[in-house]
Amino acid sequence: MSEIYKNYIDGEWVECSDGKRFQVINPANTDDIVGEFQLSDREDCKKAIAAAARAFPAWAEVPATERGRYITRVIDLATHRKEEIAAALCREEGKIMKEALGEVAKGINLLEFYAGEGFRIEGKTLPSEMANTFVYTIRRPLGVVSLISPWNFPFAIPAWKIAPALVAGNTVVFKPSDFSPLTACLLAQILHEAGLPRGVFNFITGPGPTVGDEMVRNDSVKAISFTGSNQIGDIINKTASERGIKVCMEMGGKNAAVVLDDANLDLAVAGVFTGAFGSTGQRCTATSRLILTRGIKEEFMKRLMEQVKTIRIGDGSKPEATMGPIVNENQFNSVMALIEKGKKEGAKL
């Protein structure tokens, strides 16, 4: 029987109101059920936001340096559990273990930086046009912030969003992607173990059209940070703009590498190979277009294809694998459809 993972609301691990759950399956072994997670609804999300709103006034008055020290405790806990986190990431998202460990290290580095921001939150003094008048600015937290993260970096991107929000004095409602919620849940466990006051951090899983929508529309939410698709990002951006609240968006790209005649081909090929095929190509920063000058095209493509032929696809937990699987069946079908579309448009596979 697979393990059941709960929401974290107001300092307690709780099931969603109607008891519904969804399963996450290991993409490298579809017989392996990673876990069951809460299929939360709008009312569950309202409870999480209400808890964050109640916690905000007291948390905002905690000195920024002390808020940073909570993140320092998170760093220590995450460092002790880094192999466990990487194994979970590999199992649910499909990254090879080397990439998973690299992502966890990146997330810990981000936590280290933002813990220090508690000592660097500063305002400004400004000249005044009036005599005997002292003009200055101070930074104050916004309130409840909604953080929505993607499936392809389920540890690093949540750390990137949660730590600065907390250190700045905001309270958080965090929803990970339904494709890879286990890694995010482990981070939520660590934040709980770090001793954050009740309601300061809240973790909830569930569908975007209900839970995610409430995280954007709820009147108590004062800022939103979203990483994900262009389609959903456009909707969130429009809704946040209509509400007049702050919004930070990171969406998809169509990233080009340009290689000129005077390039160091060894470095260029290595960079393009890693950029295109690292993390199974499943990242918004992946190299998806290659623009070559005629003078180096043939030699460059020869070297690149030699690299491509070294790829060994397999279970990311196995040392011989150099590329893990597509994250799930829906994404696999989407990739295959795009390949067929390209072939019909004249591309050579």
Which pLDDT value is given to residue 2?
Answer: 85
Identify the bridge partners of residue 221 per DSSP, sorted by sequence position.
144
On whether the CB atoms of residues 215 and 221 are closer than 8 A, the answer is yes
Which pLDDT value is given to residue 349?
Answer: 87
Residue 250 annotated to the active site: yes
Which pLDDT value is given to residue 136?
Answer: 94
**pLDDT under 70: residue ranges of the chain:** none
Report angle CA 211, 56, 67 to the nearest 5 degrees.
Answer: 110
Q: In whole angstroms, give the CA distance from residue 148 to residue 205.
A: 10
Reading the block at residue 108, the tokens are 């810990």
CA distances to 59, 144, 150, 166, 201 from 55, in Å = 6, 9, 26, 12, 9
Q: In whole angstroms, give the CA distance from residue 307 to residue 276.
A: 12
Which pLDDT value is given to residue 13?
Answer: 98
Helical H runs in 81-153? 82-93, 97-116
Active-site pick, 45, 90, 185, 284: 284
Active-site pick, 45, 193, 250, 299: 250
Is 275 exposed, middle or buried, given 0-12, 13-18 or 19+ CB atoms closer than 10 A? middle
Q: In whole angstroms, give the CA distance from residue 43 to residue 30.
A: 32
Residue 345 annotated to the active site: no
Which pLDDT value is given to residue 237?
Answer: 95
Q: In b/e form, how buried is each residue of 35-61, taking b as 16+ CB within 10 angstroms?
A: bbbbbbbbebbebbbbbbbbbbeebbe
Which pLDDT value is given to residue 252?
Answer: 84
Q: In whole angstroms, give the CA distance from residue 112 to residue 262.
A: 39
